[in-house]
Structure 1
């Protein structure tokens, strides 16, 4: 109970005054060591933002997005390694793969709970949603949107903001412009994942590095 209260306090402090939707379902797995769990949650929160969309008094969507930076990928892989008792050699293999992916694309993990399933179509070519990554240099369209599936305890152990009825997506954007310039530069502070449709617009702003 003490650890849960501290985690709750951390999440509130990191989120500031932003309201967050209630999380339904059993609590997701986490580290038994309090400091270790708090460390992971801190990295997660640095690269995560949340948004809510309403139409009058009706809820349209809850959403959260986590940018898969090298720092977050390392934290996530080491968490997976601890949960699954992987060898250090195997963890290093996965990290090498993850860092190679990070060099090729800028990837968001997107969690959503859309209250009308007809509008939960982010991975379809005919989706009602226009999804872009916004940087100080402009907007970019994703190169791929992949539906991961409905949230389960495995997925929620890495992204505990997801509830039972949420769905996960991988949204990948180019790492470089056609002329070879990097999309995210060393001095860039934040990037935004924006989703807009006739139902409304949400923006999730996260640290770029």
Structure 2
């Protein structure tokens, strides 16, 4: 079923994306759904890693590695997939569905985290890739770190659009992300961290005053 064309740009309002009601329903979820899905999975993977004999230091190292892998994944997916428009009218529609709608309606409360219809297949795909590189309890610890990175990303993304906390680090991340939306969409691809924007030279520094 074809996706509905956007009818206007608005930072605050939502828009219908699909003609079919079931597809439209699958495209909208509240911000807490990724936490409800993936935190229990993380807990199970952590238990499985320790049950498999991993040491505390080994788990910390593997968890940190998975978290680091997530930061790179977040950046490169956002920059090279979400901001890539395939050729033709169909390509434009695909781009609108997977990311363009967020830039047209950045404060849509029900389209700020990834729906399970997308995130679950992606999670399985990434787990399959991790299983090629890691074995035993290390696999569960590394992928657990990756999952936590994803949950932080999705939850923080929602907060950046809908909260105005005065904590200094949060304020810096919010400025960084709002620049991406409203100043220069070719910078600020990192959401939960500007690390890879620093490394890849896509961090825009705002002059003070």
Could you say which structure has the greater relative contact order, defined with CA pairs below 8 angstroms and 6 or more residues apart? 2
Higher helix proportion: 2
Higher-Rg structure is 2
Tell me, yes or no, whether TM beats 0.5.
no
TM-score, L = length of structure 2: 0.29
